[in-house]
Structure 1
Amino acid sequence: MKNIFTKTLLGLALSGLVAGSVFASENNANKHSGPSSNIAWDVPQILFVKNGDPERGKQINTEMMCSACHGKEGIATAKNWPNMAGQKANYTYKMLIDYRDEKRVGTETATLMVRLAKTMTEQQMADIAVYYESLPLPPPSAAKLATKEEVESILPLLTEGDGKRMLPPCLLCHEKGAKGVERDTPALEGQRAEYFRKTMQEYKDGTRHNDIYARMRHIAKVLTDEEINAMAQYFAENGN
């Protein structure tokens, strides 16, 4: 118990250092104008998303052709598209707002999502976000991005982090089992490996820059490509 408590404190300290140092650098040298996202999670905003209608969201998933890429039950139809089943509603809502406001751009898939999000009302965004969260998290899926030994080697990064590289434990924010948290930290359990790798590479090269305080950009830049591949495989193979 003492070791767990110590690791948690270390993780919190590292998270604060990462957020603080990156926040300063983002203010001084960020090439992207304005805030990374226009979402502010005050109580009215949280309640608005929470009160979305999942039944209406299910209809939107079909009517707006979301299911063509993300599947009827939130399981993506292609490797480079994310599974949405079980994804935290606040995270999905934030992504749609970011697409609408062109805070997440720079790729072909982002261009498609920007066009779609601009046609949606915020109520529709909340409805489909709540619908996806109501679905069970994805089952495990096979991936061939890393060896068994490489996957095992990154497990300490998930639970303990790496103080020398200013890396907090992944599961400090994404929670035990990588199921995500209510505010806007996504679930990673059962996510497609190819999509996870693609996302981390976009954070790493700066293509994706809608992470608040640039936290994920900092983390991705420090991780090696081999570590990213191993993480991608780990989360894909450890589905619900």
Structure 2
Amino acid sequence: MLYLFFLAHLVADFMLQPLWLIQRKRYWYGLLIHVGFVMVCMLAIIPFEPRAAALWPVMLGISVVHYGADHWKIAYGDRMVRSPLLAFLLDQVIHATTIIVGLSLVLPVEQIWSLDASALALPAIYAICYLLACFAAPITLIVAFDPTFKHASLAAAARVRSLIAAVLVLSLALFATPVALPATVAGIAAATRRPASGHPLDSPLGLMVVVLVAATLGAVLTLV
């Protein structure tokens, strides 16, 4: 069950959190919209895994803590943690820990962690890896290298390019392993010669980090 909840978190916190929503989270209504997405994504598990319907109190608790963690990050994070990246990572640790603790309070350990607990556990893990490579890694890089959104006008196109690179590398690692390494090296060499824009995601370092994350996740998935 953990993998389904973590997948729901990634969808809500990365796929469904565009720049306009991030900016409006400084106000109560923007934060409420975001937490509403978090709750809806967890409720969306129920049609695919009906047993999750009994976990609605856990979903509600996770949403409340999510609201509190995001409010803390926005209101006090800069004062308590100077690094925006550190505040961002701490926020994600809180969200992940909340999910684990919440499920641990109501489910046996084997139903939380075991791949046999749900037929959707393995597909969820694959989806999680794609979301980590295509959305979480690029957004983390933006927080690290462009926390004030100085290059916001270039971000949309840069994120599309990083998404395509991550999908290609991860898919090659999974389904065409023999050609994954040479294709990846060739792609990095071509891209670093002439960056597509001045956005940090298009820089050689940004591209290499995205590719490295995708390749690592692909290698891990081949062992699952």
TM-score range normalised by the length of the shorter chain: under 0.3
* Bigger relative contact order, structure 1 or 2 (CA pairs below 8 A, ≥6 apart): 1
Counting helix residues as a fraction of each chain, which structure ranks higher?
2
Which structure: larger Rg?
2
